Amino acid sequence: ARQDAATPIVIVGHVDHGKSTLIGRLLHDTDNLPEGRVAQIVESSKKRGLKVEWSFLLDSLQIERDQGVTVDSTRIPFRLGDREFVIVDAPGHRQFLRNMITGAADAEAAVLVVDAAEGAQEQTRRHAMLLRLIGIRHVIVLMNKVDLLDYDPARIAETERAVAALLKQLDIEVSLFVPASAREGDNIASRSPHMGWYQGPTLTEALALVPAPSGRADLPLRLPVQDVYRFDTKRVVVGRIERGRVKVGDSLVIGTHGTVARVASIESWHTAPQISAVAGQSVAITLEPDVIPDRGDLLHQPGETPIRAARIRSRLFWLRQEPLRVGESFRLRLGTAEHQVTVASIDSVVRLDDLTEHPADHVPPEGFAEITLAASESILFDAFAPGTTDGRGVLVDRHQRIVGGAPLIGPAAIASGTKAIH
């Protein structure tokens, strides 16, 4: 179902390394700017006595965004030939991080912007960690501001080596390093006249090489129950198919209680009843016998069973301003389900300066860690897998605030001396 959809990309990087400039430049050089925007940018740049500042474009988009109060992420569409992309952006650093961990950004590819003169900085590391955590599969590194290095290949290669080493340590496969100047327009949408030594693709050529999001229809079925309605004599189970397909006549296992029922019909509001539906579609089905699943139950086919565990190992990105400590309790949001969980242990925390893992008794704000969560009941889940919604847990506090992203990576062994919960 996503086959023809726009490819979502995120642009990340340390503050001031040129993200906004890049977005402006990219939209302009690919003829994707709305009418009148260019004149507006030239005008406001002149007012400040500057050369054209592409980052003003983003600021002007920002103003529109701020007026729409409920929107906390912007999707900036742009077209390259016959291919559609959408840049997923957010007004602030924290909102951006939140979008990334909740899947609101749902990006297929990322452009990591690094100031070639400055090299990787703190946020470069944090963003790279985040890209690994959420499993973005295609990372293009834009070595920006090479004009400041006089387009010198030796100096650019020096920064490139350092960034490559950092990403290798994180197991991030870099598709490409593109030496560029967002401000001057070198190697963004057109080949730079100053870098004859560079034979690789420009940024837009690199983006065109990113494979389109692949369909999830052929994977085993996962249908999280959103709601159950009563209509006349029958009950209708409503949800969005996360992956796989469902057909009339299929046997489905209902969540943790394991009851099996048959799909009697797939209802449709506007058209004749359907025979089957695939990933990405929302469906309303009736079951036979007329069992009643709960919101949050995960429907799947027999033999295609998810993991079932009450102690779960999770990779964590911690967002709250105060550190996380063992013993704290949260709600774990997983698909349409919510479970009560307690942090049973903090197994390791990543040290940001060298990206190595160490034991620690707390996770600092914006920290990365591996933790064990203990739930009061068994949870059905799939281990996190890049490019899917599998295992995408989010921790919320009692005020419903998102405090951390917690991709579930598998069941946790019960440490000796610890009392089992189930």
- Contact call for residues 243 and 277 (beta carbons, < 8 A): no
- Contact call for residues 368 and 321 (beta carbons, < 8 A): no
Nearest to 72 by CA among 90, 94, 50, 47: 90
Cα torsion for 255, 258, 262, 267, to the nearest 10°? -20
The footprint of ligand GDP on residues 382-401 (CB under 6 A) is none
User: Considering the rule CB under 6 A, would residue 117 count as an interface residue with ligand GDP?
Assistant: no
CB neighbourhood size of 413 (10 A) = 10
228/238 Cα distance (integer angstroms): 6
Residue 182 or 349 having the CB closest to ligand GDP: 182
CB of 56 to ligand GDP, least distance (A): 9
User: Considering the rule CB under 6 A, would residue 28 count as an interface residue with ligand GDP?
Assistant: no
CB of 80 to ligand GDP, least distance (A): 20
CB of 164 to ligand GDP, least distance (A): 20
Binding mask 260-299 for ligand GDP (x = CB under 6 A): ----------------------------------------
Residue 201 or 364 having the CB closest to ligand GDP: 201
299/308 Cα distance (integer angstroms): 13
Secondary structure (3-state) at 219: coil
Amino acid at 304: E
Going 372 to 377 to 378 to 380, the CA torsion angle's sign is negative
Alpha carbon of residue 220 to chain centroid = 22
48/346 Cα distance (integer angstroms): 50
267/88 Cα distance (integer angstroms): 34
With CB under 6 A as the contact rule, the residue among 9, 12, 19, 41 that binds ligand GDP is: 19
User: Considering the rule CB under 6 A, would residue 144 count as an interface residue with ligand GDP?
Assistant: yes
For 185-281, where are the E strands, in sequence order?
Answer: 223-231, 234-240, 245-247, 251-254, 259-267, 276-278
With CB under 6 A as the contact rule, the residue among 28, 127, 132, 145 that binds ligand GDP is: 145
Structure tokens at 358: 């160490």
- Contact call for residues 363 and 349 (beta carbons, < 8 A): yes
CB of 117 to ligand GDP, least distance (A): 9
Region of 143-151, 187-195, 211-219, 379-387 interacting with ligand GDP (CB under 6 A): 143-151
Region of 11-19, 81-89, 321-329, 379-387 interacting with ligand GDP (CB under 6 A): 11-19
CB neighbourhood size of 412 (10 A) = 21
Region of 18-26, 163-171, 325-333, 376-384 interacting with ligand GDP (CB under 6 A): 18-26
Residue 370 half-sphere exposure toward CB, CA atoms < 13 A = 12
Residue 146 or 237 having the CB closest to ligand GDP: 146
382/306 Cα distance (integer angstroms): 5
Region of 104-112, 118-126, 144-152, 404-412 interacting with ligand GDP (CB under 6 A): 144-152
CB of 181 to ligand GDP, least distance (A): 4
User: Considering the rule CB under 6 A, would residue 126 count as an interface residue with ligand GDP?
Assistant: no
Region of 10-18, 200-208, 253-261, 309-317 interacting with ligand GDP (CB under 6 A): 10-18
With CB under 6 A as the contact rule, the residue among 18, 296, 335, 393 that binds ligand GDP is: 18
User: Considering the rule CB under 6 A, would residue 118 count as an interface residue with ligand GDP?
Assistant: no
Residue 19 or 222 having the CB closest to ligand GDP: 19
User: Considering the rule CB under 6 A, would residue 157 count as an interface residue with ligand GDP?
Assistant: no
Amino acid at 390: D
The footprint of ligand GDP on residues 161-190 (CB under 6 A) is 181-183
The footprint of ligand GDP on residues 52-111 (CB under 6 A) is 53, 55
User: Considering the rule CB under 6 A, would residue 148 count as an interface residue with ligand GDP?
Assistant: yes
89/11 Cα distance (integer angstroms): 8
User: Considering the rule CB under 6 A, would residue 192 count as an interface residue with ligand GDP?
Assistant: no
Structure tokens at 299: 């429907």
Residues that bind ligand GDP (CB under 6 A): 13, 15-21, 53, 55, 144-145, 147-148, 181-183
